[in-house]
Amino acid sequence: MQASNVVDGRAIAAQIQRELTARVADLKRRGVVPGLAFVRVGEDPASKVYVGRKEKACAELGIVSETHVLPEKTSEAELLALIGKLNSTPHLHGILVQAPLPRPIRESVVFATVLPSKDVDGFHPVNVGKLMLGDDTGFKPCTPAGVVELLVRSGVQIEGAEVVILGRGNIVGKPMTAMLCQKGKNANATVTLCHSATRDVRAHCRRADIIVAAMGVAEFLKADMVKPGVVVMDVGVNRVPDAASKTGTKLVGDVDFANVQPIAGKITPNPGGVGPMTIALLLQNTVRAAEQALG
């Protein structure tokens, strides 16, 4: 039987979590239990699901978490006041404010208020700057860091590869670009960042050895846009109508999986690809934050 080209993100995430178990046990021997605060504002259904999954993963690993749920109408000042309190709570080593935040709260102001040493999301300007500079002492955003781990652990050569990233968001596209173009191990790629004003996305994608799809357009990447053997990482999560489902909707990625999978060298499924890796890297960042707090 031919080996499947579908990358099992759940299995790789579970492996990372097993590796973290020893580090958590070591911290506990030294009297420290890693602590993570979640902050959720409003009732965005996807955010509820994501935070719920992250809480569960923390509990499984032995990270103590607490979740602060604030009403939709919370002011920016109230949110900043909460973050200030969490910043000065010693047993909380990480703080995660789930995006998107309701308007008119400015995400950039909120992310810049989290202490860089507790910024396990890697969204603070200091950590963003360190990433750009190739300084590994900062925290890297979990989703693009998870994509790098998926590539490395499934044996994909990044060095020298032509990589096309679809989407220039602050959470995935931009940091993904910075990570893969660095001089160094598990990087050294030639990176093209495509976005809504790119003239010929298909031509860029056809050249790519690796494509990271993170623009949030359901099933955008079609079979005729890729070359045979391409490695495809699908970050997208899009809810679309589906008459066959009980809810009337279903989740699909940014990749037309059914048609791209037969051509691809490797491809992530959705769900079960990149999603579990985001959580695994959050756990890893939190354990590191606790280790660093201990000195």
29-58: which residues touch ligand GUN (CB under 6 A)? none
Applying CB under 6 A, among 96, 164, 179, 287 the residue interacting with ligand GUN is 96
Q: CB under 6 A: which stretch of 16-24, 91-99, 148-156, 238-246 binds ligand GUN?
A: 91-99
- Closer to ligand GUN by Cβ: residue 192 or 278: 278
Tell me whether the omega of the peptide bond preceding residue 125 falls within 30 degrees of 0, making it cis: no
Tell which residue, 23, 4, 7, 1, has the closest CA to residue 235: 7
Cβ partners under 8 Å of residue 246, min gap 6 = none
**By CB under 6 A, is residue 112 in contact with ligand GUN?**
no
Annotated catalytic, 17? no
Least separation, in Å, of the C-beta of 267 and ligand GUN?
Answer: 21
Contact 150, 10 (CB under 8 A): no
**By CB under 6 A, is residue 214 in contact with ligand GUN?**
no
Residue-wise over 107-139: b if at least 16 C-beta within 10 A, else e?
Answer: beebbbbbbbbbbbbbbbebbbebbbeeeeebb
**By CB under 6 A, is residue 147 in contact with ligand GUN?**
no
The catalytically annotated residue of 17, 118, 119, 121 is 121
Applying CB under 6 A, among 17, 65, 98, 285 the residue interacting with ligand GUN is 98
- Closer to ligand GUN by Cβ: residue 70 or 260: 70
Tell which residue, 151, 144, 142, has the closest CA to residue 267: 151
The alpha carbon of 161 is separated from its chain's Cα centroid by a whole number of angstroms, namely 21
In whole angstroms, what is the distance from residue 22 CA to residue 15 CA? 12
- Closer to ligand GUN by Cβ: residue 44 or 162: 44
- The 8-class DSSP code of residue 286 comes to H
Applying CB under 6 A, among 40, 65, 121, 209 the residue interacting with ligand GUN is 121
- The 8-class DSSP code of residue 273 comes to S
**By CB under 6 A, is residue 278 in contact with ligand GUN?**
yes
The catalytically annotated residue of 17, 54, 261, 266 is 54
Tell me whether the omega of the peptide bond preceding residue 104 falls within 30 degrees of 0, making it cis: yes
Least separation, in Å, of the C-beta of 143 and ligand GUN?
Answer: 5
Q: At what angle do helices 45-61 and 274-294 cross, to 10 degrees?
A: 50
- Closer to ligand GUN by Cβ: residue 143 or 286: 143
Residue nearest to ligand GUN (CB): 99
**By CB under 6 A, is residue 143 in contact with ligand GUN?**
yes
In whole angstroms, what is the distance from residue 278 CA to residue 71 CA? 26
In this structure, are strands 35-41 and 64-70 parallel, antiparallel, or unpaired?
A: parallel
In whole angstroms, what is the distance from residue 117 CA to residue 136 CA? 13
Q: Which two tokens stand for residue 54?
A: 């992250």
Least separation, in Å, of the C-beta of 98 and ligand GUN?
Answer: 5
Annotated catalytic, 98? yes
Least separation, in Å, of the C-beta of 111 and ligand GUN?
Answer: 8
Least separation, in Å, of the C-beta of 261 and ligand GUN?
Answer: 25
**By CB under 6 A, is residue 97 in contact with ligand GUN?**
yes
Q: Which residues are catalytic?
A: 54, 98, 121
Q: Under the rule (CB under 6 A), what is the footprint of ligand GUN?
A: 96-99, 121, 142-143, 171, 278
